[in-house]
Amino acid sequence: MEQIKLNFINKSNDTNNSSVVIFQKNEAINFDEIAVAWKVIKNCGRLDNHPFTFPLQFQVSASDSYGNYTPPLTAYDGQAFEMVKSTSGNILVLSTTPAVSMSEVEIQNNLLTGTINGNCYRDGKLLATKMSIASGQKAVFEFQPKIFIGVAPQVEEGEVMNSAIISQINTEINLIGIFSGDIVMTGGGSGPNSTPFNFTLENINK
């Protein structure tokens, strides 16, 4: 199984055309800082659905202080990558030394000068980023097969979200061992009878 097939279904009473944000936490860091909006579902009306896939593999890339981006490389747990200067310029290569932890992926800045940004992508969309990695330093990433989903206004895909926004997106959906499933949103509405939005995983195939 290389990817999980998911289908978002809006069964809520929302009348504000709310955007639904999905992201993952980088388990390798103390999570009180930032996360990236991996997927934002917009204009999905009541009883509409939005199918998408969650590939199990992710890719890593780096950008340097000159604004250059390396091509994405598929990353496996336990691998380490390093940004080095070659005869052609700055490139990201697989390190001969593995990551310290076999559950993590590392991106190290082995350039003599200048900072780099380390980026992770899933399904071609930015999943996580670590900015301004100094020479000799590294970024560490670890992702569990779970997503966080919620409603947040004015968030764009690929945008770095602060802790205030992240605190609104607090439903955790575990995808371990799942082949496909529906993510159903209920709740919402206006007036005294409105209820909080709720997200549940239904019609699960394992």
Domain boundary residue among 122, 141, 160? 141
Confidence check: pLDDT of 172 > 60: yes
Domain boundary residue among 141, 170, 191? 141
Same domain, 65 and 134: yes
Share the mean pLDDT of the chain.
95
Same domain, 114 and 177: no
Same domain, 68 and 136: yes
Domain that holds residue 127: 58-141
CATH number of the domain at 7, please: 2.60.40
Segment 59-100, tens digit of pLDDT:
999 999 999 999 999 999 999 999 999 999 999 999 999 999
For 16, phi then psi, to 5°, come to: -105, 10
Look at residue 15 and give its three-state secondary structure. Answer: coil
Confidence band for 193, pLDDT divided at 50, 70 and 90: confident
Number of domains in the chain: 2
Residue 118: its pLDDT value, please? 97
| Mean pLDDT value across residues 113-123 | 97
Contact criterion met (CB below 8 Å) for 72 and 122: no
Domain boundary residue among 141, 163, 196? 141
Segment 135-166, tens digit of pLDDT:
999 999 999 999 999 999 889 999 999 888 88
Same domain, 137 and 62: yes
Same domain, 51 and 150: yes
